[in-house]
Structure 1
Amino acid sequence: MTSDGRFLLRRGTLPEVAPEQLVDILTSACDVALVVSAEREVISVLVNPQMGIGAKVAHWQGAPLKSLLTPESWVKLEKRLGGGEMDTHRPMIVELTHSDAQSFQFPIRYAVSRTATDGAFLMVGHDLRPIAELQQQLVQAQLALERDYETQREMETRYRVLMEMSPAPLMIVSMSSGKIVDLNTGAAELIGAPRAELLDAAVAQEFDGRRRGEFLESLAKLSGTDPNGALELTVRRTRAKVLVSAGVFRAAGDRLLLCRIGLSETGKAQVNELADLAERLFSKGIDAVVFLDADGVVKSANESFLNLTDSNSLAMVVGRSFGDFLSRGTIDLRVILDNVKRVGHLRRYATRLNTDYYGQVSVELSATSFADRPDSGISLVIRDVSVTDTTRWPAEQPGNEGLRNVMQLVGYSTLRDIVAETTEIIEKMCIETALDLTGNNRVAAAELLSLSRQSLYVKLRKFGLLSKDGD
């Protein structure tokens, strides 16, 4: 019979089979076979000898089928038998669980078919215990994999903490490929590049005058002959003089070098001299220097900044938002932070600083981002341009004083108030000034002018500034 219930053999084409031979065929083809009467009593029980349960099911013959099944299985079987599925030529497939007084249970997948017109039916079944055991093994294997995964995550966390908490700059190098497998933050700072950029990079290229083979062989030889010895090398990026020592170990079939990097005496002298010069520039420089965190909060400032803002002490400055010192407040601060985060720096941004005694000072500031450090921040160099402020305005001409006054109002009044009594020429000049102040940042320019971005674009098209600055 095919899957759609059609018979391919005509009646009478199969030879007659003796009952004994039919029993052998059934017990060989299945695990359990039951012949059940219309009254749901077991007429005959056939069991595959390989199952080894012949003695446990011998009492099934003549017993009610209901007493041999769990309550859930009996309800399911009755529902299926009464559903009309037995009226077709196709056998009904159902999974049942046998149970008896000795708590002997096992699941069987039965194919149930009518055997005669008296309502009796044949149940040919296969033992599902091997499948259930396999499923249990799969569940156990999945649980074991999850435990191994959690253990691996724990070990990776411990490894990463040890790498980052180590006071020494550490780097792991593969001897087979010559590439950096891993390194901590201290090593990345000493080499002068972000950790992500150095991973999988050729280690020999980060130091001057060393080829890959020579570099690895020298470190491996040194680790075997003198574990406390080190090679003096020059870092290519920073030109720092460093000492590199190494130890060899194996992992995952590869030989690896655990390299410890430290400044040599020459390198320490260079760093100390550079740090001393930077400290002098910060403390005695005539330009104000301010360090901000990523949110624009002041972390440190030099004496020149305190003088510029008339602040009494550094304690009155540290911890405050830098926007408190800007005449346009958060608008100026947002322009500075957005440009620095986008391109890494900002040059000669013209604005005014508020002093502690309600005064204002015209300044130009430049900003640089320190995004490659774990505690990323921004440094500002601020120059007082109040003395030369007039050089940034148009030459004095009759009637030009009004233009200068209008341009100074940009950012302090709305565009509607500024141009209420002026012509379209003044409106165009204000938009051009806002674009210059923000480095052609149209979003920031719209904020300076208290315009929506859509309104600003309409005016840019009106005055032909889109083609000038690029759309």
Structure 2
Amino acid sequence: MQAFKAPKTSLGNLDAEAAAILISAAADIALIIDEAGVIRDAAFNSQELALEMEGQESWLGRPWVDTVAEDSRPKVEAMLRDVAARSLPRWRHINQGALRGTSVPILFSTVRVGDGGRVVAFGRDLRPLSALQQRLVEAQQSIDRDYARLRNAETRYRMLFQLWTEPVLILEGASQKVLEANRAADALLGRGGKRGTARVFLEMFAPEGQGPIDQLMASVRATGRADDVRARLLEDGREVLISATPFRQENASLVLVRLTYPQGEAGAIVLPKAKSKLLKLIESVPDAFVVTGQDGRVLTANAAFLEMTQLASEEQAVGEQLERWLGQPGVEMEVLTANLRQRGPVRLFATTMRGEFGATVDVEISAVSVMNGTGPCFGFAIRDIGTRVAPPPRIGAKAPRSVEQLTELIGQVPLKDLVREATDVIERLCIEAALELTGDNRASAAEMLGLSRQSLYVKLRRYGLGDLPAENGEAG
């Protein structure tokens, strides 16, 4: 500690009041403590801190060690011992007791003044620093959580990248060097999974096909899209279809390249470009579409069908009987296939579909039969009609036939119309019950209801109950 060189000359005759002002200005909180460690006076540099610390009155006459938190008491005792031994003062972090049992972090240092053993404890409010530290901790925790999410996402996508059945490569945009390739690409290019020096993408193909590939890459870099091109591999001469998609990562231009066989290993048929787009459209339409063989087993299905049947992947549906998800197994599928074989396309066949977890939905099915070389296959377009908005019911001359139908009108028609309808329903139910109890004897029913036979006939005609004679004189 560097002290004043000539305090008596520089400070002059400094009285107690001036010293108190200096002490209060030098610290956020100042405590005057006697030789027994009891607080005799206290000063605060801000009213807000004084209110937080319950003011100075509650501390006066109490030992300093009793006004701090439990974990800070040894520090206070050590500070008082050090100042009594006239050791060099040290700053210590003390949790000073505050309002409602809380504590405020204060950085204290003690100085002995005068010959009476009095001690001045200077305190600096550490709340701004503590709040900053807390924000730093929260920011670090948020960064750690974001980093963990990014790491998990990268792991998932890298796993998908490696397990994808099509050869996929990632190229550097300008040099066309292969930066990454999945396992299928390694097998196709004969790399055997080894990660050596990066190869230039063009060098993997026969010379006659490098020109179209170069044009493809140039078009992708310039416009962001380009038509697929075909080329032959240099190593085995197999023809592949090349698709390229640009993207940016860390301010670098990269290209995602997919390689597919124009004809599959099993001799799959190559569709014209327009038909290929049509199949992509069917895969994305909101209505379910499924293709089955003549035995009713699923061959392929789009995403909407998987959502309707609550399946996670197409593999779970392939090979299963379509009637497994239809409303009445063993009945409706036979009706559909019989109509397809005998009468041709089926339109708007109403039924229900059941999901794997019990959800049911009302649907309309349109179906068609197509020859597929080895035999017919059936295509089913399935539309969810459960979400259709029904037209609001109108109150006409004919009353609702049940209480349930009446309750559906609540909120859609005025209250007076509902009351009239409810009266008609109750009246009709009472007449039906009376006719049933009397064995359809209308004279007895009229007497039971307290009506004349003429009035009963009028109400029977109104509600369309029973066969009435041309004249109202028959008792029934």
Please give the TM-score of this superposition, normalised by the length of structure 2. Answer: 0.48
Greater gyration radius: 2
